[in-house]
Amino acid sequence: MKNTYPKSILDVQIINKRVIVRVDFDVAVNPDHSIADDQRIIHNIPTLKKLLSNKNKLILIAKLGRPKKRDSNLSLKIVVDKLPQYLPGYTFKLVNDFLTEDPKTFSDQKHSEILVLENIRFYPQEKSMDPDYVRTLCQLGDVYVNDSFGMAHRAEASTVSIPQHMPGFSGLAMKKEVETILQSIDSPKHPLVTIIGGAKISSKIHLLEKLIVTSDYILLGGALANTFLKAQGYEIGDSLYEYEAIEVARKLLYLADQHPVQLMLPVDAAIADPDDNDESYDVVPLPLMRRGYAIYDIGPRTADIYADIIQQAGTVVWNGPMGLFENPEFKTGTTAIYQALTHNEKAFTLVGGGDTLAALSHKKHLDRIDHVSTGGGAMLELIEKGTLPAIEALRFSQKKFTK
Ligand code: ADP
Ligand code: MG
């Protein structure tokens, strides 16, 4: 049974209200404190514009980075300074500490003024979901809108607690992202090819259980693939893998055998001696028989096999680089996957993951990817579980507050 997606701001009339909007704004920051990439501001703008066009007053909540406490290096000021560029005609006020702020700031808010609370992770109560803190936050608005998909897998005060106390709806970016991802996995155009790589093995391995059921092909790369090679009893030398995940990998290989899916592992690899800094590497067929060496990328034969499969795909979902791409020598496999994916014009393509996107930055044809997810962890958890804490919080809210 599929759950219907909770209502978004398109399904309800929100007019002349004080609206608390959980936005993303978790931009990449340069060492000189300028914004490196403002995509995470831009994708929230349609929601803000829609709410503003209905005469609502907006109070925005976001986090930046991972502060444990107040840290001026992670102030949202850089974002607030940028906002007028995207929402001309409005003034913006950064509320330094909403807990001690003069109540007049909120009661006297004008329609042309947008309030932005300072980095919400400056408050330890945000994660602990402290009831007094939640109550104070809730006093700031009448309606809650969540437009931060990237944080939807985290249960925190501003993602989960607020809508327990007032009607909550999803914003446009959130809606699009959730619907696109669920559609790609649950009712894809076949063949569905999922590509999983990277190094966060334990957090990705459970996702595969779901993918085995839904995918036509699963292509594995990165250190994740090493764990599977090890689980098959192959020698992988000093390659990065996760010992604790081997048992799960074995079960998954067995499970894949019971399903029509083709679970593919690399057949060759770029290897190097981890202790040797001369940057030379070899390409060898797998299994790797050379002890003391490590697998750092998929090899050219694997890349060709994977590319052929990707070219036949109706849907491609990709998370995780194929190798240690930070070293240009070991970026080849990741680039080959990218090229195959962007040259399949008939497939619907979905790519997500912090490092995956970092590996692809500055590449040509990025616009050929149909959907680039703004949330790595959130995307994986949504695929695995079919829902996320912030989505469930909206569902709960709508049951409680709307007929
Ligand atoms: P994402 O953020 O896209 O979900 P992960 O965080 O899981 O991806 O993994 C990215 C990291 O995996 C990168 O730092 C990359 O260097 C590393 N990696 C991929 N393949 C290998 C490998 N064979 N050996 C060591 N590290 C690898
Ligand atoms: Mg990562």
pLDDT one-digit tens code per residue, 17-52: 999 999 999 998 888 989 988 889 999 999 999 999
| 195: nearest Cα among 358, 311, 110, 86 | 311
What per-residue confidence (pLDDT) applies to 1? 37
Rounded Cα gap, residues 309 and 379, in angstroms = 23
**Predicted pLDDT of residue 206:** 84
Q: Rounded to an integer, what distance in angstroms lies between the CA atom of residue 115 and that of residue 93?
A: 5
pLDDT at 112: 96
Residues in the chain: 403
Q: Where are the beta strands (DSSP E) in 5-142?
A: 18-22, 28-29, 35-37, 57-61, 91-95, 113-117
| Structure-block tokens of residue 277 | 């800094």
pLDDT reported for residue 291: 83
Take residue 382 and report the two structure tokens written for it: 């949504």
- Ligand 1 neighbour 296 (Cβ under 6 A): yes
CA of 357 to the centre of ligand 2 (A): 9
Ligand 1 centre distance from Cα of residue 37 (Å)? 22
Picking from 163, 135, 166, the residue whose alpha carbon sits closest to that of residue 147 is 163
Q: What pLDDT does 181 receive?
A: 95
pTM of the full structure: 0.91
Q: Ligand 1 centre from 353 Cα, in Å?
A: 10
Distance of alpha carbon 358 from alpha carbon 372, whole angstroms: 12
The finding on whether 372 has its CB within 6 A of some atom of ligand 1 is no
**Beta 28-29 vs 35-37: how paired, if at all?**
antiparallel
- Cβ(236) – ligand 1 distance below 6 Å: no
Pocket test for ligand 1, best of 200, 203, 293, 319 (most atoms within 8 A of CB): 200
Instruction: Give dist(CA 42, CA 291) in Å, integer.
Output: 49
Cα–Cα distance, 283 to 299 (Å, whole number): 6
Low-confidence ranges of the chain (pLDDT < 50): 1-2
Contact status, residue 390 vs residue 160, Cβ threshold 8 Å: yes
Name every residue whose Cβ is closer than 8 Å to that of residue 25 and which is 6 or more positions away in sequence.
40, 41, 44, 60, 62, 63, 64, 76, 79
- CB of residue 268 inside a 6 A radius of ligand 1: no
